Structure 1
Amino acid sequence: MKPYKVVATAFLTASLLLAGCTSEQDALSSKTETKPASATESKTKETNQAAASSEVPEQLQKPLKIASINQFSIGTFSSQYISGVKKQVEKFGGEVQIYNADNDLSKMAAYVETAVNQQVDGILIDHGRADAIAPSVKKAVEAGIPVVAFDSDISIPGVTVIDQDDYSLSWNALRSMAQDLNGKGEIVYVWVGGFTPMERRNVMYEAFKKRYPSIKEIARFGNASQNTALDTQSQMEALLQKYPNKGDIDAVFAPWDEFAKGVTRAIQQAGRDEIKVYGIDLSDEDLQLMQEPNSPWTATAATDPADVGKLQVRFLYQKAAGEETPQIYSVQPHLVEKEDLPNTKVSMSEIGKYVDGWGKSDAATSPWMENLKKANQK
């Protein structure tokens, strides 16, 4: 393994301080001390275990009706996240209704209103922007409905917001690329604005350009659609024709796995194996693509999307039980590099054998959860 996998550098800290104007930092009060994700996870677990007994709370002795409202459902990362949500709710004996807004924020807000009117027992928010959905989310809070959001810039008292620590995700992948390029080269940046996690990842990219001025961006493109990977592949194919010679492009930074899949396939088909791809996010499909012999996909920074979905549900059930939950929580990301994976195909559930620290989070667990699962075994 490479020694630079750990990204707790002074530069990262400085960059995060520069990013203090983002909405995530606004959610923190001036009295809040920032802690590493692992410390936050441990503290959250200890607090909840001390506050709860192993007896299932009265509020959860009936099946909960949950609304899971998603800004979009594009690609395998989203599908595995939704799978994690469904599995955790099912284990707890609840019911979950999935709402896909197809990247329409007004529709997403309307779905939140619908969930409030239906008097659901809890609402899960996936992505979405505060300027569009915050008024509807406030109505849910005022109605006494627990809300937990994922990868959103919402900052409403009583709403827990979890994320993948997008700043660390981005810097993990970028620093790996800089080291492999020895601090010099020509790169392509695939990116689209308008999404909270993408905006946060871009903060680190802008810092990266200042840190490594000899790494030059020669092209930038990207859009989000129902066929993002295919659209990205077509755009990359056109770019490869514009830059046909070896050495024209050294690497591609694609901070979304749908982007990374598209550029990887374009590079493979063009036979341009000298170009390396560095991405963010991971799924079983992504792993298979990374492990192909001629795959240029070199590294990706990621968390387990299914585990994120399960974590979000656990926080929601803690809220429904009346337990204290944090205002914000960041999941610890990891860098997965192709060279660390075996020659045989592996799945997301097996990565822990090859990547230090990869595993299921035990945050947001309460003693009564095991009894709740036992009571709902089928």
Structure 2
Amino acid sequence: MNKQKRAWLSVTLILAIALVLSACGSKTNNSNGAGNAAANNASSNNAASGDSSSVDTLKGKKIALIMQFNQGTFSAQYVDGVKKQVEKFGGKVTVLASDNDLNKMVSNLDTAINQKYDGILLDHGNADALTSGVNKAVAAHIPVVAFDSGLSVEGVTSLAQNDQMLADKSLEALAKDAGGKGNIVKVWVAGFPPMESRQITYASFLKKYPDIKEIAQFGDASQPQLDAQTRMEAILKQYPEKGSITAVWAAWDEFAKGVTNAIKQAGRTEIKVYGIDMSDEDLALIQDPTSPWVAAAGADPSSIGQVQVRYLYQKLHGDATDATVQIEPVFVSRDALPTDKKLTTADLGEYVQGWGKSEQGNTDYLKELEQAVGK
């Protein structure tokens, strides 16, 4: 009987010790959990307020800009906008151009991931070519913001001009000036997300204006300006009579420059050119009273670069950014521009409402970062 009592007391003592230890462990875990939650909340509050320690972590970032192609003044001004904004944030940009070769662009993306850049900007390309590499970047915790790439990848912000609005503004101006009738030439190329979007509007345009007839179309992205000039020269020989061609709609400013050269050299300036995109070079041609290029729809390429960088730095800051961001275009016609002085895109905003510096994507902490870097 004594043995049984002693055994029972031993078991009771062991159970009591186990319960005490379990309670202590539970209190320790709860304490750690509360501490982690408090730390997370403090971190979130610091990020939201843009405190100095949060801003300091954004300095010195290495950014890769991976471009499908970098031809023309639009691309040059876009790159300038990217570089200047990153420099204002205390970072450095490396441009990896792909010479209009999607395989090379994919390789450049892999290079940026393997070299552990802090952030990646994409310019053009398409979803089929880039999605796998972008997923790899996201898995490596490298933020990505794409421009005109047609991407739909979770965690990636895709920036684009409102391409259907670009097409609509330029085409409606053509229809108005032509009186809703005439023969037109379309310069466009398939395979690029912005071009495909512009084509949707173009198809609707032809249905809306049945008396406007497309008599020819062409387009090559490899040497866009030279190819457009050569092909337009051939079409002008095919339609030599004045009045046989009313206008040309060019879905890219490089195309517009090429056809403008051909028309001007042939002395056929009764043919009007309507384009998309706007750069300093484009603006000079539109202002020239002897040029057939009379109007274009576009957004400031430098501002596009700045906005794209801001969204990337939001991601570097830990913010949740929108999946898609649209840049609203404006319409620029010769009629709205002065005749007594030459303009650049820097002062175009004085004459065209909506053009110029954009605050899109800016935040209080990014403004604070610029000020800190500028000191």
Normalised to the residue count of structure 2, the TM-score between the two structures is 0.85
| 2:274 matches 1:278 | yes
Once residues 270 and 173 of structure 1 are traced to their aligned partners in structure 2, the CA distance between those partners, rounded to angstroms, is: 24
Counterparts in 2 of 1:272 and 1:61: CA distance versus 1, 3 Å: closer
Letter in 1 for 2:250: A
Give the structure 2 partner of residue 340 of structure 1: 336
Q: How far apart are residue 51 of structure 1 and its match?
A: 3.6
Give the structure 1 partner of residue 246 of structure 2: 250
Query: Which residues in structure 2 correspond to 1:144-183 (within 5 Å)?
Result: 144-183=141-180
Q: How far apart are residue 374 of structure 1 and its match?
A: 2.4
Give the structure 2 partner of residue 370 of structure 1: 367
Question: Structure 1: any 5+ residue segments left out of the alignment?
Answer: 1-49
| Structure 1 residue ranges, 4+ long, deviating more than 4 angstroms after superposition | none
1:260 to 256, 259, 263: 256
**1:307-357 CA-partner distances (Å, limit 9, x unpaired):** 000100010001000112100010010000011111110000111111122
Give the structure 1 partner of residue 211 of structure 2: 214
Give the structure 2 partner of residue 313 of structure 1: 309
Counterparts in 2 of 1:56 and 1:299: CA distance versus 1, 3 Å: farther
* Bigger radius of gyration among the two: 2
Once residues 178 and 172 of structure 1 are traced to their aligned partners in structure 2, the CA distance between those partners, rounded to angstroms, is: 10
Once residues 105 and 289 of structure 1 are traced to their aligned partners in structure 2, the CA distance between those partners, rounded to angstroms, is: 31
Letter in 2 for 1:265: N
Kindly indicate which of the two structures has a greater share of residues assigned to helix. 2
Give the structure 1 partner of residue 24 of structure 2: none
Once residues 286 and 56 of structure 1 are traced to their aligned partners in structure 2, the CA distance between those partners, rounded to angstroms, is: 44
Q: How far apart are residue 60 of structure 1 and its match?
A: 2.7
Query: Which residues in structure 2 correspond to 1:187-202 (within 5 Å)?
Result: 187-202=184-199
Counterparts in 2 of 1:218 and 1:146: CA distance versus 1, 3 Å: same
Contact 2:59 2:89 in 1 (8 A): no
Contact 1:59 1:321 in 2 (8 A): no
Give the structure 2 partner of residue 143 of structure 1: 140
Question: In structure 1, the residue corresponding to 2:374 is in which secondary structure?
Answer: coil
Contact 2:102 2:125 in 1 (8 A): yes
Aligned length: 329
Contact 1:54 1:367 in 2 (8 A): no
Once residues 62 and 257 of structure 1 are traced to their aligned partners in structure 2, the CA distance between those partners, rounded to angstroms, is: 36
Question: In structure 2, the residue corresponding to 1:278 is in which secondary structure?
Answer: strand
Give the structure 2 partner of residue 84 of structure 1: 81
Question: In structure 2, the residue corresponding to 1:90 is in which secondary structure?
Answer: helix
Question: In structure 2, the residue corresponding to 1:68 is in which secondary structure?
Answer: strand
Q: How far apart are residue 375 of structure 1 and its match?
A: 2.4
Letter in 2 for 1:371: E
Question: In structure 2, the residue corresponding to 1:348 is in which secondary structure?
Answer: coil
Contact 1:152 1:161 in 2 (8 A): yes
Letter in 2 for 1:90: E
Letter in 1 for 2:210: P
2:297 to 301, 323, 339: 301
1:111 to 108, 112, 130: 108
Contact 2:250 2:274 in 1 (8 A): yes
Task: Name the Cα RMSD after superposition.
Answer: 1.5
| 2:219 matches 1:234 | no
Letter in 2 for 1:156: V
Contact 1:54 1:369 in 2 (8 A): no
Q: How far apart are residue 231 of structure 1 and its match?
A: 1.9
| 2:70 matches 1:73 | yes
Once residues 205 and 179 of structure 1 are traced to their aligned partners in structure 2, the CA distance between those partners, rounded to angstroms, is: 15
Contact 2:206 2:212 in 1 (8 A): yes
Question: In structure 2, the residue corresponding to 1:120 is in which secondary structure?
Answer: coil
1:357 to 345, 354, 357: 354
Q: How far apart are residue 377 of structure 1 and its match?
A: 2.4
Question: Structure 2: any 5+ residue segments left out of the alignment?
Answer: 1-46
Normalised to the residue count of structure 1, the TM-score between the two structures is 0.84
Question: In structure 2, the residue corresponding to 1:369 is in which secondary structure?
Answer: helix
Q: How far apart are residue 61 of structure 1 and its match?
A: 4.5
Give the structure 1 partner of residue 21 of structure 2: none
Q: Which moved more, 1:307-316 or 1:265-274?
A: 265-274
Question: In structure 2, the residue corresponding to 1:306 is in which secondary structure?
Answer: helix
**1:8-67 CA-partner distances (Å, limit 9, x unpaired):** xxxxxxxxxxxxxxxxxxxxxxxxxxxxxxxxxxxxxxxxxx944353625734400101
Contact 2:182 2:213 in 1 (8 A): yes
**1:100-124 CA-partner distances (Å, limit 9, x unpaired):** 1111111111111111111111000
Q: Which moved more, 1:214-223 or 1:54-63?
A: 54-63
Once residues 151 and 299 of structure 2 are traced to their aligned partners in structure 1, the CA distance between those partners, rounded to angstroms, is: 21
Counterparts in 2 of 1:219 and 1:281: CA distance versus 1, 3 Å: same
Q: How far apart are residue 293 of structure 1 and its match?
A: 1.8
Q: How far apart are residue 371 of structure 1 and its match?
A: 2.4
